[in-house]
Amino acid sequence: MGWGPAMIVFPAIDLLDGNCVRLVEGKREAMTVYSASPVEMAQRWEAAGASWVHVVDLNAAFGFGDNREIVRQICQQTRLKVQLGGGLRTTNAVQKVRELGVSRAVVGTAAVKRPDWIAELVSEFGPDAVAAALDVRNGLVAVRGWEEQERIPPLELAQRWADQGLRHLIYTDVRRDGKLVGPDVEGATRIARLTGLGVTVSGGIGSMEDLRAVFAVAPLLEGVIIGKALYEGLIDLTEALALARRSETAD
């Protein structure tokens, strides 16, 4: 099922040591720094027409420091709705980023280890303030900054989260992330179709053609996250947003 009239296009901002960076398959040794001013980058995406931005605090995800002050500045110095992931492993951590102005907190590792935690978060903050990250590598769920894998099948985990009241899920094929090889649309739509969750697809978007493939199944998917392709100039965000609107009218 779809969640609203238009698919959300999320430009991605990955934060590491105060910089806007991109990794390949989540590996720090395969890192490119694109900007020393993430706030200016967020303002650029806002000027291009974005209404949401997907921010990942890689320091928090990897367990050494955080970039919460930059997140606060993005919330205060733009009108963007901020979807934030990275290191959110307790209810208190989610509460703290909500206080920064974050619209939606993305939980991963802790929700994989304790699927019933989702019910607590939904009850505390509401179903639209929480998303769960379903990160998949070789058919298994990846956790802890994608450095470890769990044995639970992705679909089974997604269904357990849905049963706990989850509404929003971010599906990433880790092997494709940062490689511009196209997203796993089939995997994402399967999860959406079988669970009824609002699924955002991430990982591998490299061209407008990739976006057309995502928008072609727009009634099933809720959103798409674009990272490296924006920073490498392979996709123009304003054009991507216009394509999303045209796909909506075509329905």
Measured in degrees and rounded to the nearest 5, phi and psi for residue 77 equal: -100, 5
The encoded tokens of residue 186 equal 């089939």
Query: From its phi and psi, is residue 152 left (phi > 0), alpha (psi between -120 and 50) or beta?
Result: beta
Report the sign of the C-alpha dihedral through residues 220, 215, 30, 19, in that order.
negative
Cα-Cα-Cα-Cα dihedral sign, residues 28, 29, 30, 35: positive
Q: Give catalytic status of residue 135 as yes or no.
A: yes
Q: Which residues of 120-135 are buried (b: 16+ CB within 10 A; e: fewer)?
A: ebbeebeeebbbbbbb
Measured N-to-C along each axis, helices 117-125 and 91-100 cross at an angle, to the nearest 10 degrees, of: 30
Q: How far is 154 from 222, CA to CA, in rounded Å? A: 18
Contact 149, 142 (CB under 8 A): yes
Closest CA to 38 of 236, 238, 227, 239: 227
Distance of CA 100 to the CA centre of its chain: 18
Does 177 participate in catalysis according to the annotation?
Answer: no
Distance CA 211, CA 190 (A): 18
| Catalytic residue from among 57, 66, 116, 135 | 135
Q: Which residues are catalytic?
A: 14, 135
